Amino acid sequence: MFSDFAFGIFEESIGKYHEADRVDQPRVNPYETGSIEYLLYLKNWIDTVQWHFEDLIRDPGIDPAEALELKRKIDASNQERTDLVEYIDSYFLNKYQSVSAKESATINTESPAWAIDRLSILALKIYHMREEAQREDASRDHREACRKKLNVLLEQQKDLSTAIDQLLADIEAGKKYMKVYKQMKMYNDEELNPVLRERKH
What would the pLDDT profile of 118-154 be if each residue is shown by its tens digit?
A: 999 999 999 999 999 999 999 999 999 999 999 999 9
Q: Are 160 and 125 in contact (CB under 8 A)?
A: no
Q: Identify the pLDDT of residue 113.
A: 96
Task: Examine residue 183 and state whether it is found in any structural domain, yes or no.
Answer: yes
Task: Examine residue 33 and state whether it is found in any structural domain, yes or no.
Answer: yes
pLDDT digits (tens, 9 = 90+) for 23-51: 999 999 999 999 999 999 999 999 999 99
With a pLDDT cut of 90, the percent of the chain lying above it is 86
pLDDT at 195 over 80: no
Q: Identify the pLDDT of residue 183.
A: 61
pLDDT at 192 over 60: no
Residue type for position 195: V
Q: Are 26 and 187 in contact (CB under 8 A)?
A: no
- 198: Cβ–Cβ under 8 A, 6 or more apart, which residues? none
Task: Examine residue 201 and state whether it is found in any structural domain, yes or no.
Answer: no
pLDDT digits (tens, 9 = 90+) for 71-98: 999 999 999 999 999 999 999 999 999 9
pLDDT-based confidence at residue 168 (cuts at 50, 70, 90): very high
* pTM of the full structure: 0.88
Q: Identify the pLDDT of residue 81.
A: 93
Q: Identify the pLDDT of residue 90.
A: 92
Task: Examine residue 16 and state whether it is found in any structural domain, yes or no.
Answer: yes
pLDDT at 197 over 60: no
pLDDT at 9 over 80: yes
Q: Identify the pLDDT of residue 180.
A: 75
Task: Examine residue 99 and state whether it is found in any structural domain, yes or no.
Answer: yes
Task: Examine residue 125 and state whether it is found in any structural domain, yes or no.
Answer: yes
Work out how many domains the chain is built from and give that number.
Answer: 1
Task: Examine residue 91 and state whether it is found in any structural domain, yes or no.
Answer: yes
Residue 68 belongs to what domain range? 2-196
What's the CA gap between 102 and 171, in Å, rounded? 10
Q: What is the DSSP string of 71-107?
A: HHHHHHHHHHHHHHHHHHHHHHHHHTTTPPPPTT-EE
Q: What is the mean pLDDT of residues 157-170?
A: 98
Average pLDDT, the chain: 91
